[in-house]
Structure 1
Amino acid sequence: MLFKRSQKNEIYAPVDGIYVKQELINDPTYATTIMGVGCGVRPANNIVKSPVDGEIMMVFPTGHAVGLKRKDGVEILIHIGIDTVNLQGKGFTTLVKQGDKVNVGAELVRFDQEIIKQNDLDPTVIVIFTNTNGHEITLHNESESITTRDVIADVK
């Protein structure tokens, strides 16, 4: 028997680690909803994966941030660390480029937490919904410890 795949409404964690509520992110730009609703993850590893099926809309030249867009128009910014743009790409390896189509779990960026920490920077990986395209985003934060297999938000 064949089953029709339903449209996925889930947004998965981009990295394994500890969930951080938006208001607890150590940067006022992301801790408020100025750029959009979202959350953070204190990373337990050094690989950022795609939280959705979609298209890579932007990759910062320094490798510290990636923008994705789902087929339904929802846009997501993944920002690795706070003030990590100042590292000028040191410790970041991008594995995708603008225009690439990716599926949930595809590796996007590898980063070196030790370099981030040696420069007295916060390695928290931030997920912000910069454009909901009229959809409602419901964040999940019941669990403190999460993996890339865990849903962090739903789109309605």
Structure 2
Amino acid sequence: MSTLRARMMATAILFNGNDMLMMKRSPKRTLSPGMWASVGGHLEPEEINDPKTAMLREIYEETGLSPEELENLHLQYILIRQNQQEIRQQFIYTATAKRREVIQTEEGELHWIPKEKVLDREIPFIFHSLLEHYFTYGPSPSIWVGTAGFDAEGQPAVHWTELVDPQKR
């Protein structure tokens, strides 16, 4: 019997005007080398119950943007998927950056991309599906949960559900 492991991550989709900050990942990265993604990373053990703190740390480490330089930081998505023997849970935040100047790190190159050109890039499937959903339904006061699976034709798909608190109905 094989053991499933869990990995928790936090990602930030940052905007400034009509542009979204994207990282062209270094070809040396283990996860999605050479592809386009957003800033983010793994939760440290002390952050397991606090993905927002992890996200703010990742934003600062990868962009140089401090929490004071962000507006409307909001947990918008939670993605759950299986990758071989690992269950990955990813918390995706959206925010507006008050400035465009960002640092560069060994993670990859940061670029501000016009929203209408973001999906033209080589993006991992699950993140592409998330961005399609976000660009279609826009910012939402609700959190959306996406689970990776297959559609009726057997093609990879993300299934979206709005997260609700049944106690509030």
TM over 0.5: no
Compare CA radii of gyration and give the structure with the larger one. Answer: 2
The TM-score with structure 2 as length reference comes to: 0.28
